[in-house]
Amino acid sequence: MTSGTSAGFGRRFAALIYDSLLLAALLLAYTAVMVAIRGSAITAGGSSSWWLLYRGGELAIVAVYYVANWLLSGATLGMRAWHLRLVSDTGKRVKPLTALWRCVCGFLAWSPAALGVLLALRRPRPPGAAGSAVGTRVVHLAG
C-alpha cells in the first residue's frame, strides 16, 4: 500500500515532459527500423498497409511504455524523477486492466488539444481526468 499526497499538475506535467523525451527516442529508433525494413519513407500517401502498421506500432510503443512501467514499478521514468507513483484509489498497486484503461483514458484526455486535462483542472478534486475515470490517482511520495 502506498500513501502520499495527491500530486499537483506541475509535477505531473514535468514528469510527462521527461517521459516524452524518452518516448521520442524510442519512436525515433522504431521509425529508423521501419524505414530500414521498408527501404523508403513511410508516408500517408504511400502504401496504406505500411502506414497503418507504422501508426499502430507507434501507439503500441507508447501504450506498452506506460502500462508496463505502471505495472512493474508503479511509475514511469519521469514519475520516478519527480517522486510520483500511480496507485488505485485505495492506495494499492494498479491491476493490468486498470492500467490499460487509464492509458486509453489518458490518451483521450490529451488528444483533443488537452481539453480533458484543462477541464479536470477546474474540478475540486486534484487534477487527472484519466485517473478519475478508472479509480486511480497519482501521489507525491515524500523524499
Q: Write out pLDDT tens, residues 82-101.
A: 999 999 988 899 999 999 99
What is the per-residue DSSP string for 52-90? HHHHHHHHHHHHHHHHHHHHHTSS-HHHHHTTEEEEETT
What is the model's pTM? 0.85
pLDDT at 119: 66
Q: Write out pLDDT tens, residues 5-24.
A: 888 888 988 999 999 999 99
Domain boundaries, the chain: 5-140
C-alpha pair distances (Å), 30 with each of 26, 46, 49, 54, 77: 6, 18, 17, 9, 19
Rounded mean pLDDT of 54-58? 95
Q: Write out pLDDT tens, residues 92-132.
A: 999 999 999 999 888 887 776 666 666 666 665 554 555 66
